[in-house]
Every structure is written in structure tokens, then in C-alpha cells.
Structure 1
Amino acid sequence: MAVIHRTTLKPTKLELLASWLPTRPWYEGGPGEPELTKAGGFRLDDPEGEVGIEFMVATDASGAVPTAYLVPLSYRGAPLDGAEHALVGTMEHGVLGKRWAYDGCHDPVLTAQLLALVAGRVQAQAQSISDTPDREVARSYTGGGLPVAFVPTATDDQDGTELPLPDGTTLRLHRVLRPATPDAPPVPPEGATGHVAGAWDVPDGSRARALFVTLHPGPRS
């Protein structure tokens, strides 16, 4: 299980994201700086204990209405070869030293563990508490065996990020989160063979839930 360190980060994760988010095609904010808060999310464990894996929900209040974004991040103690295009930024960790933060959709450790979560082989962990499962994260899978590991080739569009898998299926990350109605859980779209759903805090003090990830039997575009 990953250990959550109570320490300082310079710059903070949100400070890194404030510069990075407006460069994404799925970002819906205006021309001004994002006004970000960390609203929720979960973690996954790297079996080797080397890479930090976080699925953060960051809420941006700079627009007419607050918008929640799903931001998978991987944290490494050295640069990831060939992933310069996916670097969100570097920061100094008060315990671990210099850390390289990547858009996790391009990190093979994060994507392998995400597939393991969809398949039910691993459990989501609480974002800020060590050794504690996150019971709000739901998942399902109705297909055959999923790849254990692969080299991700992620593509961003106006709605999210797509990851084609070696078996011909497509993993879709819903970057702009659309909350489900309060009396109904998030439901995967027709034809989807798997999903991950999670929760986060909204500005009025309530909790919202939405699909984070869906798995589809073929290309989505």
C-alpha cells in the first residue's frame, strides 16, 4: 500500500495544473487563470512501489459555473523516457525530493493499474489516507481478459481522452465530469463493457458522482 506523506510540495499540484489545464482541448474555462480546488479523487498502488498514482478531481471556479475535471497524475522520482510531451511539471517534495508529475494517461504504470481496477484485480485507495480503500469508487467489467500492460498512446479531443488497447477495445477517460442525478448512480453508456465511477465535493457542500472511465468494444471516433 502507498504511504501518504504529510509534507510540502513546491509548487503545489494545483499550481502546476493552473498552467497545464488551459492547454488541453477539453478544458472549458475562459481566457483567465483557472481558480482550482482539489475536490476529490482516489489513488491506485504501483506494485513496485516506485510510481505515485492519483486520479484527482479538480474544480475550476473561473467560469460561469464551476466545472470539475478528472486529472490522472503519475509521480516519479526520475523522468519517464519518451514522455516529455506528457510532463505536467516538476515539484520539490518535502520527503521524496524532486518529483516529475505526468499526465497519467501516457504513463504505462498508471494505465496498467487502471485496467486492473476496471477488471477488478485491484481496489481503489483513499486519496489522502494510507492503507484505506475508497468505498465510493465503483467499477464493472463484462468482457474477457484485459491486457496486463501496454504502451499507452493517448489522444485528447474536445470531450476527453481515448486510449486504444492492444485487444481492439478503447478506454475513454471523461475529463469533464457530468454529475449523475442525486437519486441514481452513474450508468455506463449502452455498449460499454466496463466502467469506473467516483465522487467528489461540489461547492454547495454536497457530493456528486459521475463516470470517470468507460471501456468500449471498438474505436469511439
Structure 2
Amino acid sequence: MTTALHGLLAGWLTEQRWFAGKGHAIDDLSIDSLTEIRSGDPGLVHLIVSVRQANRRTRYQLLAGLRTELPDRLRHVLIGNCHWADDGERYVYDAAHDASLTTDLLEGMAAGLRVGDLAFHHVPDTEIDASQRSLVLTAEQSNTSLVYGDKYILKLFRQLTAGVNPELEIVTGLATAGSAHVARPYGWIETGLDGEPTTLAIMQEFLSNAGDGWTMALTSVRDLYASPEGMPAEEAGGDFAAEAFRLGTATAEVHRQLAEAFPTGTIEPSDIKQMTELLRRRLDRAVAEVPALGAHADVAGHAFDRLAELRHSVPVQRVHGDYHLGQVMRTLVDWVVLDFEGEPGQPLAERRALDSPLRDVAGMLRSFDYAARHLLADHPEAESLEGRALEWSARNRAAFLAGYSEGGGRIRGDDAVLLRALELSKAVYEVVYESRNRPSWLPIPLAAFTSR
């Protein structure tokens, strides 16, 4: 069974959008663990698969369904078929898409079950309705989320790193502190990996009536682009500035709550100089890979030089780490922040490390620029709309920063120097990313070096 399954998985994994090693051959694949959650037909097993590509070893988790007959509704997630133990030939498929099996995850968390190496937990003083049926969201890149009815959303972390995921740590910490800016946590699933408790999934309240920040911002940009020439952004339908202000205030409140719930510290001028040297090396590598950045390298270099001249310590704390308009939801009451796991491809220690909250601010400022400009990519009237893009971005960036200050966020004096360096560092990263993945979007991050 396992030999045949190895072959099936090696071919299937590389086609999944959450597989991190696209474009590289799999040198070796092993099944680190196989836990039967449900026996019979259909059956459900949990797999942790280890993939080696060159010098990189990555673990992935998979819920595998087993059936003697495969319904048409599951054909699109078929992995293959193989002889399964003494049960004969079985179809093997991605069971995250099988609502008749994923109820087992709800039942496990509701009851606090332990199944083999898997431990199911629920947050104290919560009740989980295990009758809800699931539906997979299809927009995600690095994880898989299951929405159960209109109550819960369960995020499966496809790529696994030994240790407690920052999202579980931060969301439960903020919820315990009474934060209104996180979706209520209900439960999680974990296992042991390399001797450490390791988060496999986290379940939170599903914000069924909320709108995501990216979509709301794009609606505002479209309204501005469609408005009569010369009409100010504040008079065009769907002006976003008031929401940007509220988002800034909510961001400052989350940063304050993180500082209260988790350790804080400072970095000294010597640490800042080391950070600056790292930023310069990344800039040099980016210029070597994307020559178009070379014409703007002096702008970033000057910002990094100013950062290196700081002579006082900088406060650091737990932060979001991957903050942008796609990570926030507007409910009827306020803004809610999602996805505190940081950048999934980074080591866990780096994602949990203390950092300046201005890194999150810089990420959101870059997101406003993206919202304003990405509709101009391949747009026949891009040149004539450039001024409107600048106007929308400047207006909403300013509103966000005003809200952040209103909410108690610190941006004063030399903080502006650090914020500028962090924003341009983010733009350097974006230049490389767009060059590799979306060349038509390359003008968006390049504009960061010329527009202000």
C-alpha cells in the first residue's frame, strides 16, 4: 500500500497550489505519520508527508479520503487508487473537500478527542455545533480553509513547521484579553513533530456578513476611475478614506493589545545597523536580479543610510508580520484582523520574533499603493489615470496614518525614518516577486521609489 501511495502523492502534490517547491523535482518522499481518523467506507486518514527537493525538506499535511466508489462530486480531488491494507482497491482523494468526512474534525474538537497522534482541542467555555457541513474556500494559496455553515472557518496549515503556530498563539491571547479585532477562536488540532506540540489547524468564528478590505478598496478605486475627470476623490462614490482611518485606529489598538499580552523589548543602535546592512544586501541582490530596479537603488539606499544613523533604541513587540488589505475584514461593528501566522515560508522562530509595529504599518501602506495601481496594469487608459491613482493612494495612506496616531500608534520624530526604510524594503521584495510571477505588475512596486 505505502509504495503505491508514495507514487500517487509524488505526482499529485506538485500540482497543488499550496505546494511550495513548484518547478523543482521531488528527490524523495516519505510518509512521516499516518493516523486513521475514521475506518470503513468512506474512510479518513491524516497524513504528514515529508518531501525532499535538493537540500530542502518540507512537510505537508493531507486529509486522505478512501472509497471503493468515488462520487462525481469528488472526481476533481482524486489523487489515485491503490490497494489499501486488507480493504482491497480504494480511491484515494483530498478529503478536505468531502463534507461527509470533515464533520469528524468538528466532532473531535467538540469532544476534545485524541486519535492516535492527533489531539483535538476546543477553547474553554465554548460549544461547537458538530452538525455543520463544510465547504472549501478556493482562493487561498498556502493553506486550505473549510467553512462550516455560517458559523466556523477551519484553517488547515498545509505546510508544517514544528511548534505552535503564531496564529493560534496570538488569536487565543488577544481573545482572552477581550480584543474586538480578532475573530473568536473555537478550537484547534495539533500533533507532535520533532518532539514539539505542532499546530495542524485552527478554527475561528466565520465572519459571514463581513467584507474584506482588498475588495472594498478596489470598489472605491473603480468608482474613482469611473467618476468625471477632475472630480476629487472625496466626492467620488465609494470614498474609502473614512474606512482607512478606522482601520488605522484598529491597527494601533491591536498593536497595543499585543504589547500587553506578549513580551516586548528594544533593539539598540548596533542592532539597527545590522538590520540596515541586511536591507542593503537584499537591495543589491534584487538589483542583480531585476536590473530595472537599479535606476531607483539610490532612493532606497538613502533611506537605509538615514536608518543607520539612528542613535536611540527602537521598541519591538509581537506583530502581524504579513499585514495588508487582504488580511482585514470589515464587520458591521469594526475592523477584524486575520492570519497572524506571518509569512508561511519563513522559519517559525522568525515569525514569532519581536519586531517594530511599524513593519505592519509599512505593509498596509504598500497595500494601499497596490489597490490604487493594480487596476492600471494593461489598462488602455493607464497613463491618464496615473494621477487619480496617486490621489487615491495618498488620501488613504494619510487617513490610515491619522487613524493609527489617533488610536495611540507611535509615529513621531525618527519613527518616520524607520517607517520609510521598512516601506522601501517591502517594495524591494515586491519588485523581485512581481518580476518572477507577474511581470505586468512590476510598475506597481517600482513606483514606490518615485511617487513620494
TMscore range, shorter length: 0.7 to 0.9
SS at match of 2:73: coil
Cα deviation for residue 70 of structure 1 reads: 0.6
Which of 158, 183, 193 pairs up with 2:186?
193
Cα deviation for residue 157 of structure 1 reads: 2.3
1:90-136 CA-to-partner distances (Å, cap 9, x unmatched) read: 11335322201110101123201011112126x3433xxxxxxx4x6
* Match in the other structure for 1:26: 18
SS at match of 2:71: coil
Query: Within 1, Cα distance between the matches of 2:109 and 2:54?
Result: 33
Query: Within 1, Cα distance between the matches of 2:131 and 2:144?
Result: 20
* Match in the other structure for 1:131: none
Which of 131, 144, 149 pairs up with 1:148?
131
* Match in the other structure for 1:45: 38
* Match in the other structure for 1:93: 84
* Match in the other structure for 1:36: 29
User: Closer, same or farther in 2 for the Cα pair 1:24/1:208, shift >3 Å?
Assistant: farther
1:172-196 CA-to-partner distances (Å, cap 9, x unmatched) read: 1000012217xx9994441432100
Identity across the alignment (%): 21
Query: Within 1, Cα distance between the matches of 2:101 and 2:84?
Result: 20
* Match in the other structure for 2:372: none
TM-score after normalising by structure 2: 0.39
Which of 153, 174, 180 pairs up with 2:157?
174
SS at match of 1:196: strand
Instruction: Determine if contact 1:38/1:57 at 8 Å carries over to the other structure.
Output: yes
Gaps of 5+ in 2: 172-183, 208-337, 340-452
Which of 162, 179, 193 pairs up with 2:145?
162
Cα deviation for residue 161 of structure 1 reads: 0.1
Asked if 1:59 is matched to 2:42, the reply is no
1:111-126 map, 5 Å: 111-120=102-111, 123-126=113-116
Query: What is the one-letter code of the residue matched to 1:109?
Result: S
Q: Which has the higher contact order (CA 8 A, sep 6+)?
A: 1
- Computed over aligned residues only, the root mean square deviation of the Cα atoms, in angstroms, reads 2.8
Asked if 1:78 is matched to 2:69, the reply is yes
The structure in which a higher percent of residues are helix is: 2
Asked if 1:217 is matched to 2:205, the reply is yes
Cα deviation for residue 61 of structure 1 reads: 1.4
TM-score after normalising by structure 1: 0.76
Pairs aligned (count): 195
Gaps of 5+ in 1: 1-8, 127-133, 201-205
Compare CA radii of gyration and give the structure with the larger one.
2
User: Closer, same or farther in 2 for the Cα pair 1:196/1:10, shift >3 Å?
Assistant: closer
User: Closer, same or farther in 2 for the Cα pair 1:173/1:156, shift >3 Å?
Assistant: farther
Asked if 1:139 is matched to 2:139, the reply is no
* Match in the other structure for 1:5: none
Which of 94, 104, 111 pairs up with 2:95?
104
Cα deviation for residue 151 of structure 1 reads: 4.9
SS at match of 1:167: coil
Query: Within 2, Cα distance between the matches of 1:10 and 1:65?
Result: 23
Instruction: Determine if contact 1:51/1:75 at 8 Å carries over to the other structure.
Output: yes
Cα deviation for residue 44 of structure 1 reads: 1.1
* Match in the other structure for 1:4: none
The structure in which a higher percent of residues are strand is: 1
Cα deviation for residue 63 of structure 1 reads: 4.5
